[in-house]
Amino acid sequence: QVQLVESGGGLVQAGGSLRLSCAASGSIFSINTMGWYRQAPGKQRESVAVIRTGGITNYADSVKGRFTVSRDSVKNTVYLQMNSLKPEDTAVYYCNLNTYRSFWGQGTQVTVSS
C-alpha cells in the first residue's frame, strides 16, 4: 500500500505564491508518474501538472508559465510551486501517484482571494 501526505495549502491573495508538497511512503516500486489534480466546487477534478519518470512534465493550459512541478526521487516527494495565483485557482488540490495502480492524497485546500 502507498500513503500520500500533502502539505502547503492555505489562503493567499491574488498574485501571491504557495508551494505544495506531497510525500509518498509505503510499498513504492516503479513510479510512472506523480502529479497534482484539483477540484473546485461544482466542477470535475482536473489535471494540473504531472511529472513522469525522466522528468517530462505536462501542465494544464490554465497554469502554464505560473506553476512548476518537480520531484525528489530520493525522498519520493513531489512539489507544486504556484506563482501568480488567481482566484480561479481556488480548489482542493490532490496529489496523485501512479505505480501498479493509482493512489491519491487526502487533498489540501488552496484559496486565492481577490
Q: State the Cα–Cα distance between residues 111 and 88, nearest whole angstrom.
A: 9
User: Is a pLDDT exceeding 90 seen at residue 30?
Assistant: no
Taking alpha carbons only, the member of 89, 88, 97 closest to residue 23 is 97
28 pLDDT higher than 90: no
- Structure confidence at residue 85 (pLDDT): 98
Note the pLDDT tens digit of each residue in 36-86.
999 999 999 999 999 998 899 999 999 999 999 999 989 999 999 999 999
For residue 78, which of 109, 57, 100, 101 has the smallest C-alpha distance?
57
Q: What is the pLDDT of residue 39?
A: 98
Which pLDDT belongs to residue 31? 82
SS (H, E, C) 72-104: ECCCCEEEEEECCCCHHHCEEEEEEEECCCEEE
